[in-house]
Structure 1
Amino acid sequence: MTTEGRRDRRKRQTRATLSLTALRMVAERGLDHVTVDEISEAAGVSPRTFFNYFPSKDEAIIGDQLVDGGRIVTRLAAVPPQVPPLAALRTALAEVLDEMQAHHDLWVLRMRVVECHPTLLPRLVSGGAQNERAIAAALATRLGLPPDHDHPALVSAVAGAALRVSMGQWVRSGGTRALTDLVDEAFAALAAGLPPPPAGT
């Protein structure tokens, strides 16, 4: 592994440690009873290091979005152009979904903390909307459509909704079903025009 690769890995580890520490402390004490200094001390870093990764305590709790728009855009560009938009997005999401599955406990804790502290929701929604716009712009380029065309925006929005619903199912099931399977089913339903589910399901 290169020096740059090791540096990137350490940064990801530090970021993940700060986010998990913040989540655990807030889950135990409540949002208003945890400070950046306390999070930093518990994570073994200085407050200055904390602010190198997150601009605020709330951002550390929210952590990485369900979809990192820039990362997905990069992977989307590598998918062959003949692949339909939804299938291309599913391919671009593969690595992110694998990482989420590997950190199931973290995502469960994050969702529970957000549910208990609704003031965090606007940040989560805002970040999701920004990501959807970035992905819509990439889809427009991929399809040769104007940046303001409705179709790429619609594809990005429904794909984001499918991911969020799948994530909720995954968390509620305790991870008994693979997140990738749930996302595959949701994307397949979208591609099929959202037919009604079979009776009894």
Structure 2
Amino acid sequence: MTTRRTGLREQKKQATRVALREAALRLALRNGPDNVRVDDIAEAAGVSPRTYNNYFSSREQAIVAAVTAERESRIAAAVAARPARVRLADAVTEAIVEQYTEPRDHDELLLITASPTLRDAFLDAAAAIEHPLAAAIDQRLGDTGAPATATRVLAASVTAGVRVALQQWLQPSAASLTTGGLVVPAGSLPDLLRSALAALAPALDAAEEQAQQSSRH
């Protein structure tokens, strides 16, 4: 019975999180992000502002959460689902490229690129990848007896690589700024992600090789 109550409570919390982030995005698209208040989001989602603060620390965080929509769990699931014969570095890179470059609503992308605070929140959201990705990498490597910090370091490095690629993509410059202050993303995001993550391939290869050696012994 306790397990069932806990499960129902978690489902309710997840439903509240989804309602808040969807309300935040809907209001931002309708009124512009600068004209959205936390009280407005809470009211639209049917909760109190205090409840809102239990889930998000800012309106920008809620708006970006709606745009990214559980991306970190999808990346981890994609890494874990890749066949064992696929090189770990390739599994990680392709999972990230796939999830970061999936077709997005044009208005949502425009909303992010037009607002400096939303661009910053979008970059910060990359940090959510780390823990699920560490678990997925650990699952692929198997029980090698290696310290848990090893996969955490690998996942943190991948997260940093993703952030660097996104910064390059969204970095304002004289060439990428329109007269209205809108940032025009620079370069190909898939290429930027692959280039950034290529630097980490040797470390991922080494971890995979060590895991294979351990399993043979």
How many residue pairs get aligned? The number is 165
Cα pair distance change 1:175/1:67, threshold 3 Å: farther
The answer for the alignment partner of 2:7 in structure 1 is: none
Paired AA for residue 110 in structure 1 = I
Q: Under a length normalisation based on structure 2, what TM-score does the superposition of the two structures give? A: 0.56
Cα pair distance change 1:117/1:80, threshold 3 Å: closer
For the residue of structure 2 that corresponds to 1:82, the secondary structure is coil
Residue correspondence of structure 1 range 85-104 to structure 2 within 5 A: 85-99=88-102, 102-103=104-105
Q: Under a length normalisation based on structure 1, what TM-score does the superposition of the two structures give? A: 0.60
Q: Aligned pair 1:139/2:141, yes or no?
A: no
The answer for the alignment partner of 1:161 in structure 2 is: 160
User: 1:184: Cα distance to partner?
Assistant: 1.0
Residue correspondence of structure 1 range 87-126 to structure 2 within 5 A: 87-99=90-102, 102-103=104-105, 106-107=108-109, 109-110=111-112, 113=115, 115=117
> Can you list the C-alpha shifts for 1:90-125, whole angstroms capped at 9, x where unaligned?
1222431222x634663463366563798xx6x985
User: 1:164: Cα distance to partner?
Assistant: 1.3
Q: Show structure 2 runs of 5+ residues with no match.
A: 1-18, 177-183, 204-217
The answer for the alignment partner of 1:83 in structure 2 is: 86
Q: Show structure 1 runs of 5+ residues with no match.
A: 1-13, 41-46, 194-201
Q: Distance in 1 between matches of 2:97 and 2:119?
A: 30
Cα pair distance change 1:92/1:37, threshold 3 Å: closer
1:23–1:61 contact (8 Å) kept in structure 2: yes
Using the aligned pairs only, state the percent identity.
25
Q: Distance in 1 between matches of 2:92 and 2:108?
A: 24
1:170–1:182 contact (8 Å) kept in structure 2: yes
The answer for the alignment partner of 1:60 in structure 2 is: 62
